[in-house]
Amino acid sequence: MSLIVQKYGGSSVSDAESIKRVAKRIVETRKAGNDVVVAVSAMGDTTDELLDLAHEVTPIPAPRELDMLLTAGERISMALLAMAIKSMGYDARSFTGSQAGMITDAQHGAARIVDVTPGRLSEALSQGAIVIVAGFQGFNRDTKDITTLGRGGSDTTAVALAAALDADVCEIYTDVDGVFTSDPRVVPLARKIDRITSEEMLELAAAGAKVLYIRAVEYARRHGVTLHVRSSFNNNEGTIVYNPEAGIPAELGRNGVEVEEPIIAGIAADLSEAKITVVGVPDIPGKAAQIFKIVAKTNSNVDMIVQNVSAAVSGLTDISFTLPKSEGQIVLTALTAEQDAVGFQSLQYDDQIGKLALVGAGMRTNTGVSAKLFEALYEAGINIEMISTSEIRISVVTRADTINDAVRVVHTAFGLDADEVAKVHGGTGR
């Protein structure tokens, strides 16, 4: 008997009908002889509606109370899902984050999981019940207060439960068929990826692929949880995200069929970032550290950093970095306040950039990947403004309005195009 953790996002449980459909799928998994634990998000737009309500009451809701409010969302969906399953003749019990033992730190709105004590879940499983857990929420032991995990929280809940209960697989149900080589809305010939390493998935998620949240992938990688990203609208196999050292579990039926790893797993594009250039920085040791200490104090999420070749003559250099557009203003303000101390000449802000990331473990051992990437962009007349590489990823920054073309030509250049156009649905969960 296997233990399967399943996660259903808000778009999979948006009304009574879809809740019944999900309940049926869960019961089928149970019938097949598996223990089942389900992490569920709030129904459809519930979270946004609750947020709107809070903002009608006060422009800046108190974080503790906002978490108390938002956690009502999963409470509703999990109770409805449990009663739907029970009405099909199978035992089911719903548990809040607190009841499920999701222990977090006290950072309301973006709490981190520090421990999982799923005693009540194990007990319910041993009594033959299907376990339904509220995604996105936890509990702090010191303050005894309810917390929420922030964006992608339900994915993280599912992965943390899978790790704590030593589940065989964690199935992430979504409204697309799996992880694609690129966004099918941009690249019509994008292909569903059958399997991908957690490391590659992490890079793709970090580079803007929306289907999985980076936190959940990181948690899965660290705890050796195998993910199966698949659609809740059909029974197709989705994408297996696995740890190459541990291999793919036998239950997933892929062992023994050793296929050659593709060089490139996928291509992600991201239009949510802006570029700040610090112009005319004295080219002496310690200046970069000084700048990024100022930036770090704003808690900004800096992504790519590029320092241009030193201008030997002037003794000055330029340092550029990208960060989420939403954080641009606060970082500009912080840097301006320290302009004299650092001694730079000026700041440039550019929010019309696009970032393309090419991800694949195969590039470790395959030379010429960067050259092929740059050539494809050159042939399409697309100018590269920044380049940054990691072991399994190459990122380039272009103008925002060329990014979709860039993704398409690179997708074709690396032989990722499918024979036919991908079918896609819309929407995302949380």
Q: Report the binding-site residues.
A: 7-10, 47, 74, 174-175, 185, 210-211
Tell me if 61 contacts a copy of itself by CB under 8 A.
yes
Where in 38-57 is the site for a copy of itself (CB under 8 A)? 50, 53-54, 56-57
* Binding annotation for substrate: 47, 74
Beta strands in 255-312 (DSSP E): 266-270, 273-282, 305-307
Rounded-to-integer distance, Cα 339 and Cα 234, Å: 57
Q: Quick one: how far is CA 303 from the chain centroid?
A: 15
Q: How far is the CB of 187 from a copy of itself (least distance, A)?
A: 39
- Smallest CA-to-CA distance from 430 within 101, 174, 103 is with 174
Q: How far is the CB of 84 from a copy of itself (least distance, A)?
A: 5
Tell me if 317 contacts a copy of itself by CB under 8 A.
no
Asked if residues 373 and 358 have their Cβ atoms less than 8 Å apart, the reply is yes
Residue of the chain from 2, 3, 45, 65 that contacts a copy of itself (CB under 8 A)? 65
Q: Is 395 helix (H, G, I), strand (E, B) or coil?
A: strand
Rounded-to-integer distance, Cα 82 and Cα 104, Å: 25
Q: Where are the alpha helices (DSSP H) in 32-151?
A: 46-57, 63-70, 72-86, 119-126
- Smallest CA-to-CA distance from 199 within 220, 178, 168 is with 220
C-beta closer to a copy of itself: residue 81 or 281: 81
Segment lying near a copy of itself (by CB under 8 A), choices 61-69, 166-174, 235-243, 339-347: 61-69
For helices 63-70 and 46-57, give the axis angle rounded to 10 degrees: 140
Tell me if 16 contacts a copy of itself by CB under 8 A.
yes
For the record, the structure tokens of 198 come out as: 């957690």
C-beta closer to a copy of itself: residue 47 or 226: 47
Rounded-to-integer distance, Cα 300 and Cα 294, Å: 10
Where in 284-313 is the site for a copy of itself (CB under 8 A)? none
Where in 189-208 is the site for a copy of itself (CB under 8 A)? none
C-beta closer to a copy of itself: residue 16 or 421: 16
Residue of the chain from 3, 20, 305, 316 that contacts a copy of itself (CB under 8 A)? 20
Residue of the chain from 5, 26, 39, 78 that contacts a copy of itself (CB under 8 A)? 78
Residue of the chain from 2, 3, 21, 79 that contacts a copy of itself (CB under 8 A)? 79
The β-bridge partners of 390 are 393
Rounded-to-integer distance, Cα 411 and Cα 355, Å: 15
Where in 83-142 is the site for a copy of itself (CB under 8 A)? 83-84, 86-87, 92-94, 99, 120
Rounded-to-integer distance, Cα 284 and Cα 275, Å: 23
Residue of the chain from 41, 71, 147, 157 that contacts a copy of itself (CB under 8 A)? 71
Residue of the chain from 28, 48, 58, 141 that contacts a copy of itself (CB under 8 A)? 58
Rounded-to-integer distance, Cα 194 and Cα 242, Å: 11
Which residues bind to a copy of itself, rule: CB under 8 A?
Answer: 15-16, 19-20, 50, 53-54, 56-62, 64-66, 68-69, 71-73, 75-76, 78-80, 82-84, 86-87, 92-94, 99, 120, 144
